[in-house]
């Protein structure tokens, strides 16, 4: 085809591209309950549902080995997939890991990567059951598939939110993004002044949120303990506003987010100001926090008031009322979905 | 660490590397029945077993876009994973597909890739239920996970072969390797004489075996129809001799392969001679044929004589008798496992 007709990947964005390529796919197998479009797919096996999620991390796109220790990288590759399983209100039990590696990696480097993978498996009680290891011409690529299970009646989708529901998150947002800004700044400093050793001890919290995030399996356990089933849920990998949009689109509803209620860690707040960034923008669009965003029926208010790590940030409203942000200044703006879109302009 | 101490990935080879990195992994989840070490992993779900296999294909390592049409590539990425599920005597029902793509790919190119993916899903009756699409700095990487199911009692592992068993393959070998040699020769010709259009019509069979292999789900169906359960099975992705070694090592047995019984297509035979290659070497070490290698109890001889696409190539013997090749010249040599080892020397 001619260059004139050529449509670039970046024109569609990540979600547009996936949608474009997969919107004609129909599920034909009796066991395929849910396919593309939620955090994970669902396969029916008798009463127990198998929940499957898969992700790919590419060097130079999702991580830089300049500042990502391989151990943390292995850990994060597992955790980000488990997060998708938890986001279905399911429990992960197994993972597979496929690697493409260039020969610049030594065996010791791969051992370090696997150390992180194994550590995450141990802590989250999942088994590494398979994978593939191959060479690449350039860089490191990690593809993880996580497999979990849940009873059919326990599964929570993106599509169940309804007007009146309370919208909650499980923890503070924006810190992972600010951790990345610090690391990027240090990398640039290091590249221009190779002798300078960065002092990152002051920013342990923010950097830790970026390099070694945790998946909120503890929140899922609390749901069971408190006998609470969210009406909709998603994990926050692309930024809060992008995830609010996903829930609203899937559920056919609107949302009202209270800026002042969005939890931001004090260190994230300070660092945002140092970088001359708006803290709330970091929290709304930063991504990679791997907290859970979920909605609960308004009758559950008493329950969530006593649950640890639940922050009420707004309400679900009618679709016609749109998706809006109520600022601390008292204004109401349409919320902008500015998620992580790696494909844009690359 | 110093360069002197550094151990390279190539020193261990693909299987050595996987083994080195994963040999300390223990399965802890009650549902994890089989982990790393067979064609696929097994997860228990009540009576039904979930069978999971994953593979990664990297541009420049596993394929060249100079001669792999994207449609065929998508098709092959699915089929090679389904082959691993069939090799457990299980039936695939779902796949996930993750892609890393550089922005040199147009949307039309990705549509073509997906056309092949969807075509394979349709023909093999599996659903595409999930995946991830991200950018890469260089090239195309495709990671597929296939999920299937089987009754526990139907599963066939690599480890069940015993002395006296008959060793069989489901079709001719070496053709995919020779197809690759033709394509490589044409690529080199094309690069030195860009105007020349290759005439590949004469080699449709060999090229087809390389670019668009099929997984032998029909053979698994025949097993059911004939009420035959192999004692051990593996799919031939790395070359017959490498797979014979896998079965022998897992089962703790030896094998006796009759050179004259290894099925080789007449076109493969002729092409091997044109390339001044030994046809049997192509069949033993070529790889990518995606036929099934399996062993059956000797009492099943009558059954397999009437089954289509079953070629008896030898016997399982005591471990102490080793793994040998009985040549058509009447000699007995130790069989060499010279499988596909992408990591070597790269």
Q: What integer pLDDT is reported at residue A194 of this predicted model?
A: 74
Cβ contact, residue pair A141, B100, below 8 Å: yes
Q: Report the greatest alpha carbon distance in chain B.
A: 62
Given a contact cutoff of 8 angstroms between Cβ atoms, the answer to whether B158 and B42 are in contact is no
Q: Domain of B171: which CATH number?
A: 3.90.650.10
Given a contact cutoff of 8 angstroms between Cβ atoms, the answer to whether B119 and B71 are in contact is yes
Question: Domain boundary residue among B95, B127, B154?
Answer: B154
Same domain? For A235 and A250 the reply is: yes
Same domain? For B102 and B202 the reply is: no
> How many angstroms separate the CA atoms of B241 and B335, rounded?
7
Same domain? For B197 and B306 the reply is: yes
Residues in chain A closer than 8 A to B82 (CB atoms) = none
| B contact test, residue of A33, A61, A134, A340 with most B CBs within 10 A | A134
Min distance A301 CA to chain B CA atoms (Å): 34
Cβ contact, residue pair A106, B8, below 8 Å: yes
Min distance A81 CA to chain B CA atoms (Å): 11
Residue B277, judged by CB atoms within 10 A of its CB (0-12, 13-18, 19+), counts as: middle
Q: Domain of A71: which CATH number?
A: 3.30.1330.10
In this prediction the ipTM stands at 0.86
Question: Domain boundary residue among A85, A119, A154?
Answer: A154
pLDDT (tens digit per residue) in A21-31? 787 878 888 88
Residues lower than pLDDT 50 in chain B: 1-4, 340-346
Residue of B nearest to A94 (CA): B32
Cβ contact, residue pair B40, A130, below 8 Å: yes
Q: What integer pLDDT is reported at residue B7 of this predicted model?
A: 64
Asked if residue B102 belongs to a domain, the reply is yes
Same domain? For A305 and A182 the reply is: yes
Cβ contact, residue pair A134, B342, below 8 Å: yes
Q: What integer pLDDT is reported at residue A49 of this predicted model?
A: 85
Strands (E), A46-90: 48-58
Residue B188: other Cβ atoms inside 10 A: 11
C-alpha closest to that of B225 among B315, B304, B152, B288: B304
Cβ contact, residue pair A96, B143, below 8 Å: no
Same domain? For B131 and B249 the reply is: no
- Tell me the HSE value of B221 on the side-chain side, using a 13 A CA sphere: 8
Residues in chain B closer than 8 A to A342 (CB atoms) = 134-135
Residues lower than pLDDT 50 in chain A: 1-4, 340-346
Strand partners, B293: B169, B234
Same domain? For A123 and A106 the reply is: yes
**Model's pTM, two decimal places?**
0.89
> How many angstroms separate the CA atoms of A84 and A65, rounded?
24
Given a contact cutoff of 8 angstroms between Cβ atoms, the answer to whether B169 and B293 are in contact is yes
Min distance B34 CA to chain A CA atoms (Å): 7
Q: What integer pLDDT is reported at residue A342 of this predicted model?
A: 35
A·B CB contacts under 8 A = 282
The two beta strands, A91-101 and A127-135, are parallel
Min distance A134 CA to chain B CA atoms (Å): 7
Residue B146, judged by CB atoms within 10 A of its CB (0-12, 13-18, 19+), counts as: buried
Residue of B nearest to A149 (CA): B45
Where in the sequence is the domain holding B329, given as residue range(s)? 158-334
Asked if residue B16 belongs to a domain, the reply is no
Q: What is the DSSP letter of A12?
A: H
Asked if residue B146 belongs to a domain, the reply is yes
Given a contact cutoff of 8 angstroms between Cβ atoms, the answer to whether B173 and A173 are in contact is no
- Going A289 to A291 to A294 to A300, the CA torsion angle's sign is negative
Asked if residue B206 belongs to a domain, the reply is yes
Residue of B nearest to A92 (CA): B29
Asked if residue B1 belongs to a domain, the reply is no
Tokens 């457990």, located at residue: B88
Residue A5, judged by CB atoms within 10 A of its CB (0-12, 13-18, 19+), counts as: exposed
Cβ contact, residue pair B93, A29, below 8 Å: yes
Min distance A102 CA to chain B CA atoms (Å): 8
Tokens of B325: 């090749």
> Coil, helix or strand for A151?
strand
> How many angstroms separate the CA atoms of B223 and B300, rounded?
11
pLDDT (tens digit per residue) in A195-220? 777 677 788 999 999 999 999 999 99
**Cβ-Cβ contacts under 8 Å for A2 (sequence gap 6 or more):** none
> How many angstroms separate the CA atoms of B32 and A95, rounded?
10
Q: List phi, psi (to 5°) of A175.
A: -65, -40
Same domain? For B183 and B329 the reply is: yes
Of B17, B100, B114, nearest to A58 by CB-CB distance is B100
Same domain? For B163 and B194 the reply is: yes
Cβ contact, residue pair A108, B28, below 8 Å: no
**CA-based end-to-end distance of chain A:** 21
Same domain? For A137 and A266 the reply is: no
DSSP-derived secondary structure for A297-319: -GGGHHHHHHSTT-EEEEEEE-G
Tokens of B176: 């995919």
- Secondary structure tally for chain A: helices H, strands E: 10, 13
Asked if residue B12 belongs to a domain, the reply is no
Residues in chain B closer than 8 A to A344 (CB atoms) = none
Same domain? For A198 and A272 the reply is: yes
Same domain? For A192 and A272 the reply is: yes
Given a contact cutoff of 8 angstroms between Cβ atoms, the answer to whether B235 and B39 are in contact is yes
Tokens of B36: 């790393």
Instruction: Report the domain count for chain B.
Output: 2
Asked if residue A330 belongs to a domain, the reply is yes
Of A110, A127, A342, nearest to B32 by CB-CB distance is A127
Question: Domain boundary residue among A154, A182, A206?
Answer: A154
Q: What integer pLDDT is reported at residue B175 of this predicted model?
A: 97
Residues in chain B closer than 8 A to A59 (CB atoms) = 137
Of A29, A130, A138, nearest to B127 by CB-CB distance is A29
Of B52, B61, B99, nearest to A130 by CB-CB distance is B52
Same domain? For B168 and B145 the reply is: no
Residues in chain B closer than 8 A to A139 (CB atoms) = 137-138
Q: What integer pLDDT is reported at residue B315 of this predicted model?
A: 97
| B contact test, residue of A47, A117, A129 with most B CBs within 10 A | A129
Tokens of B248: 């022998």
Asked if residue B13 belongs to a domain, the reply is no
Of B58, B94, B96, nearest to A29 by CB-CB distance is B94
Residues in chain B closer than 8 A to A137 (CB atoms) = 58-61, 138-139
């Amino acid at each position: 085809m001619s260059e004139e007709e050529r449509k670039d990947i970046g024109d569609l964005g990540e979600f547009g591209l996936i949608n474009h390529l997969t919107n004609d796919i129909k599920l034909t197998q009796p066991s395929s309950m849910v396919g593309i479009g939620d955090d994970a797919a669902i396969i029916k096996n008798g009463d127990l549902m198998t929940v499957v999620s898969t992700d790919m991390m590419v060097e130079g796109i999702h991580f830089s080995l300049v500042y990502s220790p391989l151990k943390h990288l292995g850990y994060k590759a597992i955790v980000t997939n488990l997060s998708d399983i938890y986001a279905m209100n399911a429990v992960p039990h197994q993972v597979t890991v496929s690697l493409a590696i260039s020969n610049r990696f030594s065996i010791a480097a791969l051992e370090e990567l696997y150390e992180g993978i194994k550590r995450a498996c141990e802590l989250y009680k999942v088994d590494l059951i398979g994978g593939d290891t191959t060479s690449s011409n350039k860089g490191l690529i990690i593809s993880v598939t996580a497999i979990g299970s849940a009873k059919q009646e326990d599964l929570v989708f993106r599509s169940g939110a309804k007007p009146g529901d309370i919208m909650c998150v499980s923890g503070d947002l924006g810190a992972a993004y600010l951790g990345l800004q610090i690391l990027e700044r240090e990398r640039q400093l290091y590249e221009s002044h190779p002798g300078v050793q960065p002092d990152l001890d002051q920013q342990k919290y923010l950097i830790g949120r970026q390099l070694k995030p945790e998946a909120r399996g503890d929140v899922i356990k609390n749901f069971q303990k408190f006998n609470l089933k969210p009406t909709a849920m998603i994990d926050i990998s692309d930024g809060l506003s992008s995830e609010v949009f996903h829930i609203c689109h899937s559920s056919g509803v609107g949302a009202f987010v209270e800026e002042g209620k969005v939890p931001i860690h004090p260190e994230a707040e300070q660092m945002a100001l140092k970088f001359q960034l708006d803290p709330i923008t970091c929290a709304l669009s930063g991504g990679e926090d791997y907290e859970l965003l979920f909605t609960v029926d308004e009758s559950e208010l008493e329950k969530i008031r006593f649950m640890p790590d639940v922050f009420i940030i707004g309400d679900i409203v009618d679709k016609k009322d749109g998706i809006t942000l109520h600022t601390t200044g008292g204004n109401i703006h349409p919320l902008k979905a500015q998620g992580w879109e790696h494909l844009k302009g690359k």
